[in-house]
Amino acid sequence: MADPKTPEPQAVTGNAGELHQTASTPETRLTTNHGMPISDDQNSLKGGRRGPTLLEDFVLREKIQHFDHERIPERIVHARGSAAHGFFELTESLAEFTRAKVLTEVGKKTDVFTRFSTVAGGAGSIDTPRDVRGFAVKMYTVEGNWDLVGNNIPVFFIQDAIKFPDLVHAVKMEADRGYPQAASAHDTFWDFVGLMPETTHMIMWAMSDRTIPRSLRMIEGFGVNTFRLLNDKDEATFVKFHWRPKLGTQSTCWDEAVKIAGADPDYHRRDLYESIAAGDFPEWEFGVQLISQKQADALPFDILDATKLIPEEMIPIRVVGRMVLNRNPDNFFAETEQSAFLPTNMPPGVDVSEDPLLQGRLFSYQDTQLSRLGSVNFHQLPINQPKGCPFQNFQRDGHMQTQVFAGRANYEPNSLAEAGEPGGPREDPKGGFRSFAQPVEETKVRLRAETFADHYTQARLFFRSQTEIEQAHLASALVFELSKVTLDHVRVRVLANVQNVDEALAKRVAAGLNVDLPKKAAAAVAPEDMKPSPALRIVGKYPDTLKGRAVGILVTDGADGAVVAAVRKAVEAEGAAVKIIAPKIGGVTLKDGKALPADGQLAGTPSVLFDAVALVLSEAGCAELLGESAAVDFAANAFVHLKAIAHTAEAQPLLDKAGVKPDAGVVDLAQGADAFVKPARTRQWDREPKVRILA
Ligand code: HDE
C-alpha cells in the first residue's frame, strides 16, 4: 500500500547526494521560466517510487520543451564562427571625405563585436579546412551600428549576386550524398568553377596559403566590395576597407592544417579565446584606399567588379585606425550565434556603390535573419541593438517584441504633441543617412557590363606576385583539389582556364595530376601582364617574431629542469606562450627530483599545435619514447612542417628515428636556448624541398 502522507522531501538519491546544494532565498533559488520556485530538480514526478512519470509534471515538461527548441537554424553560409568584443579607435580623421563621426573623431573608442568564420562548413565543422574566412565587424557607433562584413581575401568568386545561391550550393556538401563537409575539393565546386571563368582570380587566392591561416589573430580583413564615403557637401569618394593584423598574416602548411583538424577541431576558436583570456589582445590596423571618380575611371578594370582588387602599389592604403579585441563573449549563443551582421548597417557619411554583388547583399542579410533568428525584432537582441545611440521609429509589434511602447504615437506624421502627448521621433534631413546622388537613367537590362569581362589579368597578377614558395603551394593545392574531382571533363575545363592565368602553372598542375594539358580556354578578353604586386605575398612579409605564437616543450622523467627553464625564459621573452608536454598528464620528475606539471599529454598534444618545439629528454626517457609513435610523430611532423626543433643531446635517438636531419632549424640546446629563438620565429623554408614533393 502506498503511504498516504506526502513523503519527506528526498530531492537527491544515489551518488549525487554529496553534491546536493539547496537555496532558500528568492535571489538564489531555482525557478521555472515563470518564477515559480522549484523544490526538486533531480527527480521527475512519478506515480509511485518506481512508477511512470506523470503528465502533470509541468516542471519537467517546461524544462524538456525548452531544451527541445534550443537550436536555431545555422547560418546558410559562415555557420562556423568565433567572436570577441573590443574597440575601434580612430587615429587619423577622414573629415575631408566623410561626415561619419566614427571616421572623424580621432581618439574616440567605439565598442565593436567581431565574428570570424569559415564559409562552407556547418556550425560544428572543423576550424582548419581550406576555406575563405569571414571577418565581420559590428561597430556600435554614435550614429547607429556600422557592420563591415568582410572576408580575409580582397576579391570574391562571382560578380553578380544572382549567382550566389549557385556558388554556395556547389561548394557545400553534395546534395545527394551529404559530403564532403567543409571542403571545396569535390566535383560540384570545381564544376561550377570551370564553367564560371570569373571565379579564376578568387580561385588563385583560395588555393594560396591565405585559406589555411595559422590563427584568426593572423588574418587580414577586406571589405571586398567598393563603398563610398560622403562628406559634408555630399561629395563622394570611393573606398576599399582593410584590416591588417599586428601579428602579421601567417598560415599553416596544408599537411599541418589537415592534422590539426584531428588534433584540435576547435584550434582557431580556442586560440582566440585563450589569447584574449590571457590578456594577449589581438589587434588590427584599419586602413582605407580612397579612390576619386577620376582615378576610378583611369583604372584598367571596373571598380564595381568584386573580382578585382586595387594593388596597393597603385593606390596606397592609408592607416587611419585600429581595432583591439579584449573581451570574450559571456555566452556563445546569445552573442556569437545570435549576432546578425548587415551590410546595410552604415552610419551617415558611408554609402554603397553600384557593385552588383553588394547590391544583392543589401537584401540578403536582413532577409536571412527572419529564418535564422525567427523574428523581425532580431535587432532588439542585446548583441544586435545599437549601443552608441538610441534607436526609435514607428515600427511596432511582431514576434518576440520586447519593447513596451507607451502612448498612441505609432504613426507619422502626427500632431499628438500639440495635445501634450508624446509624438515620437522625427526624421533628420541634415544629420540623417543620405544616399549619393548617382545618376541612373538607362534602359533596363539583364547583362554584365563589358568592363567586367576580363577574368584572367588579375588572376595572373596574383599568381606572378607570389614568392616561389607560395607559387609551389598554390600549384600543389590545385593538384590536391583536382585530384579529389572524379569527373575528368571537370578537371580538363579547369586546367583549360588556368592556362590563361599562367601556362607554366597549368603545366605544373597537369604534371602533378599526371594528365595531358588541354587546349587553352577561349578568353572573352585576353589577359594582360600587370606589374607584380609584392604586397600580395605573405612569405617574407610577416614580422620576424615569436609574439603571439606557441612553443611546445616535450619532457620526460629525468629531464634537466635548468634547460626547460632556459627555453621557457627565452621564448616567453619574445612574447610566445609555452606548453609543457609529457608522456603522462601528471607531469614528470626532473633530474633534480622536482616535479614538473604538464599542460598536455603527448598523444593528445601533437606538435602540429605549436609553432616550434623543444625536446628536453633524459637518456632513459628518450629510450622509452622510441617505442611511442606519438613521440616519433611529434618530432617527424615538426620537421616536415618546417618548424624549428631544439633538443638536448639525449634526444638524438628520437630525432634519428623520426628522420630529422640536421639543418639551421635543428638546434642543439648545448648552444644555449637563445640559439633556438631565431629559427623559431619563422618556418624553415629551405627544408621544404627535402621533405615534400611540390607541384
Ligand atoms: Fe555574405 N552572407 N553574401 N559575403 N557573408 C552571409 O548573412 C551573401 C559575400 C560574409 O559572422 C549571410 O547573416 C550574398 C561577400 C560574412 O554572421 C547571407 C552574397 C562577402 C558573413 C549572406 C554574399 C561576404 C556572411 C548568411 C553575394 C565578403 C558572416 C548569414 C551577393 C565581403 C557574417 C547572414 C557573420 C553571411 C549573403 C557575398 C561576407 C546569406 C547574397 C562578397 C563574413 O545573408
For residue range 25-50, list pLDDT tens digits in order.
Answer: 999 999 999 999 999 999 999 999 99
134 Cβ inside 6 Å of ligand 1: yes
Rg (CA), the chain: 29
Angle at 643 between CA 640 and CA 644, to 5 degrees: 130
Q: The domain at 46-83+96-380 falls in which architecture?
A: Beta Barrel (2.40)
* Nearest Cα residue to 459 out of 198, 201, 153, 196: 201
Lowest pLDDT segment from 13-27, 51-65, 340-354, 470-484: 13-27
Q: How many CA atoms lie within 13 A of 285 on its CB side?
A: 12
* Nearest Cα residue to 241 out of 303, 304, 310, 288: 288
Render pLDDT for 421-472 as a digit per residue (tens, 0 to 9): 999 999 999 999 999 999 998 999 999 999 999 999 999 999 999 999 999 9
The gap between the terminal CA atoms of the chain, to the nearest Å, is 82
From the CA of 136, how far away is ligand 1's center (Å)? 9
Render pLDDT for 468-499 as a digit per residue (tens, 0 to 9): 999 999 999 999 999 999 999 999 999 999 99
The protein residue with its alpha carbon nearest to ligand 1, atom 38, reads 361
The protein residue with its alpha carbon nearest to ligand 1, atom 29, reads 78
Domain residue spans in the chain? 46-83+96-380, 453-536, 550-691
Q: How far, in Å, CA of 121 to CA of 105, rounded?
A: 39
Most informative mutation of 222, 272, 342, 361 for ligand 1 (most atoms within 8 A of CB): 361
User: Would you place residue 543 in the very low, low, confident or very high pLDDT band (cuts 50, 70, 90)?
Assistant: confident
pLDDT at residue 16 tops 60: no
> Quick one: pLDDT at residue 2?
45
Q: Which residue has the cell 537555496?
A: 23
361 Cβ inside 6 Å of ligand 1: yes
341 Cβ inside 6 Å of ligand 1: yes
Residues near 342 by beta carbon (within 8 Å), at least 6 away in sequence: 147, 149, 365, 366, 369
Q: Which atom of ligand 1 is nearest to the CA of 164?
A: 27
Q: The domain at 453-536 falls in which architecture?
A: Up-down Bundle (1.20)
491 Cβ inside 6 Å of ligand 1: no
pLDDT at residue 11 tops 90: no
Q: How far, in Å, CA of 619 to CA of 72, rounded?
A: 55
- The three three-digit cell numbers of residue 34, written as one number: 515563470
75 Cβ inside 6 Å of ligand 1: yes
Helices then strands, counting H and E runs in the chain, come out as 18, 18
Whether residue 184 contacts residue 203, with contact meaning beta carbons closer than 8 Å, is answered with no
From the CA of 322, how far away is ligand 1's center (Å)? 23
User: Would you place residue 1 in the very low, low, confident or very high pLDDT band (cuts 50, 70, 90)?
Assistant: very low
Q: How far, in Å, CA of 557 to CA of 596, rounded?
A: 9
- Quick one: how far is CA 142 from the chain centroid? 27
357 Cβ inside 6 Å of ligand 1: yes
> Quick one: pLDDT at residue 5?
58
Q: Which residue has the cell 622510441?
A: 626
- The three three-digit cell numbers of residue 370, written as one number: 527572419
Q: Which atom of ligand 1 is nearest to the CA of 225?
A: 32
- The three three-digit cell numbers of residue 458, written as one number: 588579375
Percentage, residues of the chain above pLDDT 90: 96
Q: How far, in Å, CA of 122 to CA of 80, rounded?
A: 6
Please provide the average confidence, as pLDDT, over all residues in the chain.
Answer: 96
H/E element holding 260?
helix 254-263
- Backbone φ, ψ for residue 12 (5° rounding): -125, 135
Region 407-427 average pLDDT? 97
Residues near 623 by beta carbon (within 8 Å), at least 6 away in sequence: 653
Burial class (CB in 10 A: 0-12, 13-18, 19+), 690: exposed
Superfamily of domain 550-691, CATH level 4: Class I glutamine amidotransferase (GATase) domain (3.40.50.880)
Whether residue 82 contacts residue 272, with contact meaning beta carbons closer than 8 Å, is answered with yes
- The three three-digit cell numbers of residue 103, written as one number: 571616421
Region 174-180 average pLDDT? 98
Task: Cite the active site residues.
Answer: 78, 151
* Nearest Cα residue to 310 out of 325, 324, 322, 300: 300
Q: How far, in Å, CA of 139 to CA of 383, rounded?
A: 11
Most informative mutation of 113, 118, 137, 364 for ligand 1 (most atoms within 8 A of CB): 364
Region 192-197 average pLDDT? 98
Render pLDDT for 628-662 as a digit per residue (tens, 0 to 9): 999 999 999 999 999 999 999 999 999 999 999 99
User: Would you place residue 544 in the very low, low, confident or very high pLDDT band (cuts 50, 70, 90)?
Assistant: confident
Region 10-26 average pLDDT? 68
358 Cβ inside 6 Å of ligand 1: no
* Nearest Cα residue to 245 out of 533, 538, 473: 538
The protein residue with its alpha carbon nearest to ligand 1, atom 39, reads 150
> Quick one: pLDDT at residue 441?
87
C-alpha separations of 236 from 231, 347, 360, 482 in Å: 7, 15, 22, 44
DSSP 118-160: ESSS-TTS-S-SS--EEEEEEEEEBTEEEEEEEESSSS-S-SS
Region 376-396 average pLDDT? 98
- The three three-digit cell numbers of residue 307, written as one number: 573580382
* pTM as predicted: 0.96
> Quick one: pLDDT at residue 207?
98
> Quick one: pLDDT at residue 14?
47
